[in-house]
Amino acid sequence: MKERQLSPQVEIQRIDLLFTNKIMLLVVAFIITIFVYSYLYTQKIPYIDLWLGYGCAILALRFLLIKYYHKKLSADLAFKVKIEWIYSTLLIFTGLQWGLTSFLFLDHLSGLGVLILLLMVYGVLFGGLTASTSSMRASISFTLAVILPYMLYGFKQANFEGFLIAAATLPFMMVLLKSARINFQLLIDSLEAMVLEQQLQEERINSLHNAKLANIGEISAGVAHEINNPLTVITIGLTKIRRATAPNSSDSAIDIQSTLDLMQDMVARIVKLIEKFKGFAHKDTEDILVKTSITEIVDDALTMTKRKIDSTGIKLIKELTCDPPKVVLVHKNIISQVLINLINNACDALEGDTAPYIKIVDQLNKDGGVTLSIIDSGNIPNSLDRERLFEPFYTSKVVGKGTGLGLSLARQIMHQHKGNIILDQNFPTTKFDLIFPAPTV
């Protein structure tokens, strides 16, 4: 059967799992080794000290290799594959430690002693296979190293009991290898699904960031316009202070202090605007939800779109009636981007209207969540547009005006927040509802 070709991301995740949480496994293996040694020592069996020293040396080498791997965790795939080969080789020697107990100890033990030894060997075998699920190379190496010596031991006896051991060992080995392959395939399926989800999440982040960049020029112009107002106040204040400190000035010190206070307020306003702009332009990669009021989300979005609204002569109506303001659990900057896209779409759609307006209202939901509605005076989209409105790359704007990613991305973002975005088809004008669930933490 042809082997599955794994992507580099899956290969890296797979090999990383081989070296994850292995220190405790080594401790358990050491305890079992000491237990077997203690029992065999009481039976005065030869070579037991040599067996113990060999086993402890292999455990020490595995421990050092695992620690070394974790120091190089960010290394490339080629390096990780080499370490996997070395680790699989060490597992062969580990397997031989337990497989060779057949030749070394079985002839010296009675029925109960044989049973105890076999239970320990099988326990180590199953534990090792479970810990090596992410590597078929390691699983096969370890299994063969444990099982084959017992099979050879059975043939060497050249009697009924020996042939019985050999005959039972072969199907047992086949079952173990088949089980290891099935578990490996299940793990790979899980890793591929996880890597795919990570890639989709990265694509969503990149799409959102690209959407931000598409608006950055227009929004930066708006921010510059907003900064100009406090800068004008600061300039006037500086002129006033210069006059007040000039020789023979009649201006009072109290007037200077009040001017300084006003200038400080304007500086704080500029800093706040810049911080909002930096937050908007930042590429959101952290999966952190923050409790944020609907009012704050709306205010941030309006700060970024105020210039466009004002320049198009659109009347803005903000009716946030929830008292106190409703709090939602969201990625603040990402949700603000959804609102910015909806407002920008409304501004584009209302070009040429005689009495355009955009209205933003909130409403409590029965489940404790909140619905934020963005309403504009434009006509509701036609039936074709309504059906395809949230499809990626579909746009009803003129060529060069839009990419068609805005609403599709908005829906993905709302679903990511366990909410939704819908077009209210029963409303007489265009009305989009952003539905947020109640905060859960």
E strand or H helix that includes residue 73: none
My answer on whether 293 and 183 are in the same domain is: no
Answering whether pTM is above 0.85, one says no
Q: Using the 3D structure, point to which of 202, 227, 245 is the last residue of a domain.
A: 202
* C-alpha dist (Å) from residue 316 to 298, 304, 313, 377: 12, 14, 9, 11
Which helix (H) or strand (E) segment holds residue 172: the answer is helix 160-244
In a domain, residue 362? The reply is yes
CA gap 397, 405 in Å, rounded = 12
316: three-class secondary structure by DSSP = strand
The encoded tokens of residue 200 equal 């989709």
CA distances from 53 to 37, 49, 57, 277 (A): 10, 6, 6, 65
For residues 316 and 430, state if they share a domain. yes
Residue type, 416: Q
User: What is the H or E stretch that residue 394 is in?
Assistant: none
Query: Domain count of the chain?
Result: 2
Give residue 286's pLDDT.
52
User: What per-residue confidence (pLDDT) applies to 213?
Assistant: 60
CB of 207 closer than 8 Å to CB of 250: no
In the chain, the N- to C-terminal Cα span, in Å, equals: 49
The domain boundary, picked from 169, 202, 235, lies at 202
Q: Residue 96's pLDDT is what?
A: 95
CA distance 69 to 430: 58
Nearest of 88, 175, 74 to residue 131 by alpha carbon = 88
Going residue by residue through the chain (441 aa), what tens digit of pLDDT does each one get? Answer: 445 688 888 899 999 999 988 888 899 999 999 999 998 888 888 889 999 999 999 999 999 999 999 999 989 999 999 999 999 999 999 999 999 999 999 888 888 888 888 889 888 998 888 889 899 999 999 999 999 999 898 888 877 777 887 788 888 888 888 988 999 999 988 988 888 887 777 776 666 666 666 556 556 666 666 677 678 778 877 777 777 777 666 655 556 777 777 778 778 777 776 776 666 555 555 557 888 899 988 988 888 788 788 888 899 999 988 777 788 988 887 888 889 889 988 888 888 888 899 999 999 888 888 999 999 998 877 655 666 777 765 555 544 444 434 687 788 888 888 899 998 888 889 999 999 998 875
Does residue 1 form part of some domain?
Answer: no
**293 in the same domain as 193:** no
Residue 232 lies in a domain: no
Does 149 lie in the same domain as 28?
yes
Place of tokens 């746009």: 395
Residues forming beta bridges with residue 370, ordered by sequence position: 364, 436
Q: CA angle, corner 363, sides to 357 and 369, nearest 5?
A: 135
Whether 348 maps to a domain, the answer reads: yes
The pLDDT value given to residue 412: 82
The CATH number for 368's domain is: 3.30.565.10
Which stretches does DSSP call E strand in 3-55?
none
Separate counts of helices (H) and strands (E) for the chain: 13, 7
Query: Are 18 and 136 within one domain?
Result: yes
| Claim to verify: residue 295 and residue 172 sit in the same structural domain | no
How is residue 281 written in tokens?
């332009």
* Strands ordered across the beta sheet of 357-364: 315-319, 357-364, 370-379, 429-436, 420-423
Structural domain includes residue 375: yes
Q: What contacts 417, CB < 8 A, 6 or more positions away?
A: 289, 328, 329, 330, 331, 335, 436, 437
Task: Assess if residue 222 is contained within a domain.
Answer: no
Residues 311 and 198 in one domain: no
Cα separation, 120 vs 98, in Å, equals: 9
**Dihedral sign for Cα atoms in the order 278, 283, 284, 285:** negative
Q: Distance (Å, rounded) from C-alpha 397 to C-alpha 384?
A: 14
Structure tokens belonging to residue 368: 């404790």
Q: Within a domain: residue 380? A: yes
**171 and 295: one domain?**
no
Structural domain containing residue 367: 286-441
Question: d(Cα 112, Cα 117) in Å, to the nearest integer?
Answer: 9
Say how far apart CA 436 and CA 325 lie, in whole Å: 14
Residue 51, C-beta contacts closer than 8 angstroms, at least 6 positions apart: 37, 97, 100, 101, 104
Bridge partners, 293 (sequence order)? 327
Identify whether residues 189 and 298 lie together within a single domain.
no
| 70 found inside a domain | yes
Q: How far, in Å, CA of 96 to CA of 88, rounded?
A: 12
3, burial (CB in 10 Å: exposed 0-12, middle 13-18, buried 19+): exposed
- Of 167, 202, 237, the last residue of a domain is 202
pLDDT of residue 50: 94
Q: What is the CA radius of gyration of the chain?
A: 35
